[in-house]
Amino acid sequence: PCSQVNLKKGVPPDSHNETCTAGAGSLLVEFGILSRLLGDSTFEWVARRAVKALWSLRSNNTGLLGNVVNIQTGHWVGKQSGLGAGSDSFYEYLLKSYILFGEKEDLEMFNAAYQNIQSHLRRGREACNEGEGDPPLYVNVNMYTGQLMNTWIDSLQAFFPGLQVLIGDVEDAICLHAFYYAIWKRYGALPERYNWQLQAPDVPFYPLRPELVESTYLLYQATKNPFYLHVGMDILQSLEKYTKAKCGYATLHHVVEKTKEDRMESFFLSETCKYLYLLFDEENPVHKSGNKFMFTTEGHIVSVDERFRTSLWEDILPGEEDSTHRTKPTELKAANFSSNCNKVPDERRYLLPLKSNYMRQIDRMVGLI
């Protein structure tokens, strides 16, 4: 899809032919729901076609995708492979599409992508809470070679621990979350880009982004460790102290100097505030309904409903007549929550989720101590 469209006139004549991987590949949840509610395959088809087109462009060597593609030629304009801006929600929606629709192909793509991320983007020791070496960290690499491209990470990558919670990789999620929380503790906000080698912001503004709060909320739901309530309170107090304005909350122009911009993005209300609210609201109906709800990448709640696992049209989407029949969607089963929760070690529930020596290691890594 084009990155910009005028709703009245169509694609602007002077628009460029480039779009980011996340922008082109994060339509499947909403478009899939629309198709299944209307019984019209068109919307899901165009979304799936975009995902498959991107997937077909991954590197033969590493299996990685870039972050900016020319929609006319299919050539990668941005060859950086990472988990932040331009890439983030592509991976998120591969998994969430499977959760919602049960299409095995979505899960297969996600599992392959996750394995390639672990192989080429992850640095540091193998285990989060044991062993020697640097804390686990996901870096930006060249999609073709896996070589390090820069030494910064961006604040949008803080969504990834929450995604890891959804697939049960709670241990690794704990470590990455702790890294971003340490940066927050140092500045009272997350700089848009943080240089982990220089221990300083590369891009120092903070537009009230929700990703760290989202991961905090999901880690608390997975572990029920009160540590994450403490993290949430710390974030809430920082927002009140540094970003509160007369008529709302302001973007921080500089996380060190705490100067403000007259701007409050819509995701602050739809995501940042929502996840903070839900973090502390144990009695919310969302928490009483088991596995019946899921959040979109923009923080909207959708129902995980058996009806979405049944296509109301033929099992071959338009344009796939020569393809083999799609596999039957996986049956939606209620999760055994007592069983799932027991997979999280008891010490992750009552002690610090990350051992104190590893917590101090991360604090030193970001210049907090």
> 102: domain CATH number?
1.50.10.10
Instruction: State the catalytic residue, choosing from 30, 92, 103, 192.
Output: 192
Q: Which residues are documented as binding site for Ca(2+)?
A: 297
Structural domain includes residue 146? yes
Domain presence at residue 298: no
Task: Let me know whether 158 and 264 are in one domain.
Answer: yes
Are 59 and 30 contacting, i.e. CB atoms less than 8 angstroms apart? no
Is 123 part of any domain? Answer: yes
Residue 363 burial class via C-beta count within 10 angstroms: exposed 0-12, middle 13-18, buried 19 and up: middle
Instruction: Tell which wins on pLDDT, 228 or 8.
Output: 228
Torsion of CA 91, 92, 93, 96, to 10 degrees: 130
Q: Are residues 21 and 94 in the same domain?
A: yes
For 66-70, what is the mean pLDDT? 97
For 298, list phi and psi in degrees, rounded to 5.
-105, 15
Place of tokens 């572990």: 223
Report the percent of the chain where pLDDT is more than 70: 90
Which pLDDT band holds residue 319 (cuts at 50, 70, 90)? low
pLDDT-based confidence at residue 4 (cuts at 50, 70, 90): confident
Instruction: Evaluate whether residue 293 is within a structural domain.
Output: no
E strands present in 182-266? 193-195, 200-203, 244-245, 248-249, 251-254, 259-261
Closest CA to 305 of 28, 27, 17, 32: 32
pTM (whole model) above 0.95? no
Answer yes or no: is 26 within a domain.
yes
CA pair distance 87, 98, nearest whole angstrom = 18
Q: Strand pairing of 200-203 and 141-142?
A: unpaired
Residues 210 and 99 in one domain: no
Whole-number pLDDT of residue 16? 78
Q: Are residues 198 and 240 in the same domain?
A: yes
Given a cut of 60, whether residue 323 has pLDDT beyond it is no
Statement: residue 339 has pLDDT above 50 = no
Of 39, 42, 85, 90, the residue nearest 65 (C-alpha): 90
> What's CA 238's distance to the chain center, in Å?
23
The verdict on 113 and 241 lying in the same domain is: no
Query: How far is C-alpha 76 from the chain's CA centre?
Result: 22
Residue 318 has pLDDT above 80, yes or no: no
127 lies in the same domain as 157: no
pLDDT tens figures, 259-289: 999 999 999 999 999 999 999 999 999 998 8
Confidence category of residue 335, pLDDT binned at 50, 70, 90: very low
pLDDT tens per residue, range 148-197: 999 999 999 999 999 999 999 999 999 999 999 999 999 999 999 999 99
**Are 108 and 195 contained in the same domain?**
no
- Within 10 A of 63 (CB to CB), how many other CB atoms are there? 18
For residue 95, being part of any structural domain is answered with: yes
Q: 59 and 115, same structural domain?
A: yes
Task: Tell me how far CA of residue 205 lies from CA of 80, 167, 189, 250, 302, in angstroms.
Answer: 22, 31, 9, 11, 31
Residue 186 covered by a domain: yes
CA-to-CA distance for 43 and 36, rounded, in angstroms? 9
**Nearest CA-CA partner of 72 in 3, 7, 135, 134:** 3
**Active site includes 192?**
yes
Radius of gyration of the chain (CA): 21
Handedness of CA 64, 205, 3, 294 (dihedral sign): positive
The answer to whether 124 and 137 are in contact (CB under 8 A) is yes
> Confidence band (pLDDT; 50, 70, 90) for 332?
low
- Above 90 in pLDDT, residue 344? no
Position 7 confidence tier, pLDDT thresholds 50, 70, 90: confident
Question: What per-residue confidence (pLDDT) applies to 12?
Answer: 81
Q: Verify that 44 and 71 share a domain, yes or no.
A: yes
CB 294 within 8 A of CB 302: yes
Q: Are residues 51 and 105 in the same domain?
A: yes
∠ CA 215-284-107, nearest 5°, is: 45
Write out the two tokens for 149. 């491209």
pLDDT band with cut points at 50, 70 and 90 for residue 13: confident
- Mean pLDDT for 325-337 is 54
Same-domain check for residues 197 and 273: yes
**Does residue 297 fall inside a structural domain?**
no
Decide if pLDDT at 351 tops 90: no
> 22: which residues sit within 8 A by CB, 6+ positions away?
67, 85, 86, 87, 88, 89, 90
Same domain for 351 and 246, yes or no, is: yes
The H-or-E segment that residue 213 falls in is: helix 211-223
**How many structural domains is the chain composed of?**
2
On the CB side of 162, CA atoms within 13 Å amount to 27
Interatomic CA distance for residues 99 and 106, integer angstroms: 9
- Which residues form the domain of 107? 15-150+311-326
In this predicted structure, the answer to whether residue 96 has a pLDDT above a threshold of 60 is yes
